[in-house]
Structure 1
Amino acid sequence: MSVYSIKDLEHLSGIKAHTIRIWEQRYDLFSPQRTATNIRFYNDDDLKLILNIASLKNHGIKISKIVAMPEDVLADEVRKIEFEDLSHEDQISALTLAMIDLDEKSFASLLELSIEKMGFEKTMVEIIYPFMRKIGILWLTNAINPAQEHFISQLVRQKLIVATDHTQTNENGPLFLLFLPEGELHELGLLYANFLLRSRGARTVFFGQTVPLEALEEVYHKLNPDYLMTSITTSPESKDVQQYIKRLGTRFKNSIVYITGSRVVGQDIEIPTNVSVLNQFEDLNQITRDIAINKSQG
């Protein structure tokens, strides 16, 4: 079972830690355990309860009424609103509950409903990306079981691959090579970039995880791409990132190289002239919009 701090509960539910402490004392909501240094920690059941409370409270139900509900009634009330026109915050909470329970059916249903109402791109940007960012932070701090994170990542990965397969290839579009550095496994962002680029009229070759530069260089000279795109989140090591980026600029000097990831964004790194950093989703959207404009003008 995963272990959460009160800040983790705040982070996932949107309810301030101060408020959670007040409710804990006033309504005897939780019975948190304590570490050897007397710090409270909470379990999956506590997180599920605070998420359910947050969902009902967001729908105008008073906290005094919520805490008086038996557990089965509370669960029924949450299910009644689960497939309504939920706010983004409520959808993210519902996805989190599905993650905790490893409930693939519920997770998939929530995603399908959001895609039906908002479209695939808006669901990715406004629901999935904020959700994965929250989960990613908890995973990095060991607050959640890595198996839960991998469970969700694989479900999102499947959706991205299916959506990409349904895009039409534009044989005259600019060519992008998408890859992750050797040892880098976090590919969801790159998969989404692949989907966006193809849907906007670019040609893409997706190499995926842990690609040695020597192997990439060999196919580079065969394909002569216009662009390369990669993300650096965990590999290479921080001390080696500067040298890696320099090698990208030198080895692929006839192309524009787009890079992103936590080891690049906001870091004090010297960037070669043919390399550009994508600091946020909007940068990627701008690239794909430019491709779409050029395609229509061509």
Structure 2
Amino acid sequence: MGCKERRYAIREIADLTGIKPVTLRAWQRRYNLVQPLRTDKGHRLYTADDLEKIKTIQSWLNKGVSIGKVKSLLESDVISSAVEDSNQLEEVSDTIDALGDLDGNKTDRLISMVLKEYPLSIVESKFVIPILAAIHFLKLGPRALQLALFKTMFVKHLTILINSESKRGHRPDRVMVNLDETGNLYAWLYYAQLIERGERVVLLDGVEEVSTLFSDASHYKAIHVFAQKSLPEKQLDAILEAKEMETGNVYVSPVIAHLIEERQGAAS
């Protein structure tokens, strides 16, 4: 008796759900989806019901439902399983049109909005992947121009997001190495998700040689290695050797993990 209901700060909600604070604020201000309580100093406090609502919103977004339509779905009590999954957000079509017109202002605005209003996992699977797939089927000339515009604007806004999420006054204690080409969008998304989790990471973009990486970066708490391509045996050997060391502070992206598993399976 007399026990007060648990209250969660916005950072706690972010940790529990993976939804970054800037997105939670956008859901409140623009769409009135979740209205947290406020402390005397104006800090947001969320209830257990708010937490469950946020998880429900996530389930809609995972199905490709536009954030602008979520409120009506919540209010209508529609069962989520009745909605057909979509492999892309509604904003994809508008962005492709803007890229086709080489409209930098509209592309910039749409990317900024999507990164603020959706979790990074949704941005990757239902925004970036469909757009890159559409660009891939264009003729060489238009493809090069539209890809350059999209990559430039996307990395720009990811950088803004990363800077806002990074803890001020703390030096990076982790390093991420991208073995793909400089500016690879998936590498930057991987980097942004590390920052979003509260890790203090410095990115080394477009690294070609890793033979000295693990000795030179030994003062870092952890090393994250990213690649989406097949790697030379020498690089895989160096990564595998570092992972097997007792420190256990080397982490790899899914593609590298798969390559290592294949290599170990072939050797067994």
TM tier relative to shorter chain? 0.5 to 0.7
- C-alpha deviation, 1:212, in angstroms: 2.1
- C-alpha deviation, 1:162, in angstroms: 0.6
Cα distance in structure 2, aligned partners of 1:269 and 1:189: 22
- C-alpha deviation, 1:176, in angstroms: 3.3
Structure 1 residue runs of 5 or longer lacking an equivalent are 1-83, 273-298
Among 155, 158, 170, the residue aligned to 1:157: 155
- C-alpha deviation, 1:163, in angstroms: 0.3
Instruction: Confirm or deny: 8 A CA contact 1:102 1:148 kept in the other structure.
Output: yes
Cα gap change, 1:179/1:258 in structure 2, threshold over 3 Å: closer, same or farther? Answer: same
Cα distance in structure 2, aligned partners of 1:173 and 1:104: 34
Instruction: Confirm or deny: 8 A CA contact 1:99 1:152 kept in the other structure.
Output: yes
Residue 212 of structure 1 pairs with residue 209 of structure 2: yes
Instruction: Confirm or deny: 8 A CA contact 2:91 2:127 kept in the other structure.
Output: no
Instruction: Confirm or deny: 8 A CA contact 2:135 2:147 kept in the other structure.
Output: yes
Among 188, 191, 194, the residue aligned to 2:188: 191
Among 230, 238, 245, the residue aligned to 2:236: 245
- C-alpha deviation, 1:259, in angstroms: 2.5
Instruction: Confirm or deny: 8 A CA contact 1:184 1:209 kept in the other structure.
Output: yes
Percent identity of paired positions between Structure 1 and Structure 2: 11
Query: Cα deviation per residue 1:190-225 (whole Å; 9 max; x = unaligned)?
Result: 22222221221212121111242145234312x243
Q: Give the AA of the match of 2:158.
A: L
Query: Cα deviation per residue 1:214-247 (whole Å; 9 max; x = unaligned)?
Result: 45234312x24334221133xxxx4x53442122
Structure 2 residue runs of 5 or longer lacking an equivalent are 1-66, 70-85
Aligned-partner SS, 1:131: helix
Residue 258 of structure 1 pairs with residue 257 of structure 2: no
Counterpart residue number, 1:231: 227
- C-alpha deviation, 1:129, in angstroms: 2.4
244-253 or 170-179, which moves further after superposition?
170-179
- C-alpha deviation, 1:138, in angstroms: 3.1
| Number of residue-to-residue matches in the alignment | 180
Counterpart residue number, 1:111: 111
Cα gap change, 1:204/1:115 in structure 2, threshold over 3 Å: closer, same or farther? Answer: closer
Cα gap change, 1:265/1:132 in structure 2, threshold over 3 Å: closer, same or farther? Answer: farther
Query: Cα deviation per residue 1:68-125 (whole Å; 9 max; x = unaligned)?
Result: xxxxxxxxxxxxxxxx948954311111111111111111222234345x24536623
Cα gap change, 1:113/1:213 in structure 2, threshold over 3 Å: closer, same or farther? Answer: closer
Counterpart residue number, 2:98: 98
Cα gap change, 1:120/1:251 in structure 2, threshold over 3 Å: closer, same or farther? Answer: closer
Cα gap change, 1:271/1:132 in structure 2, threshold over 3 Å: closer, same or farther? Answer: farther
Cα gap change, 1:89/1:226 in structure 2, threshold over 3 Å: closer, same or farther? Answer: closer
Instruction: Confirm or deny: 8 A CA contact 1:136 1:149 kept in the other structure.
Output: yes
**What is the TM-score when the length of structure 1 is the normalising length?**
0.49
Residue 269 of structure 1 pairs with residue 265 of structure 2: no
Cα gap change, 1:219/1:251 in structure 2, threshold over 3 Å: closer, same or farther? Answer: same
Instruction: Confirm or deny: 8 A CA contact 2:162 2:195 kept in the other structure.
Output: yes
Query: Which structure has the greater CA radius of gyration?
Result: 1
Cα distance in structure 1, aligned partners of 2:257 and 2:121: 25
Cα distance in structure 2, aligned partners of 1:174 and 1:194: 13
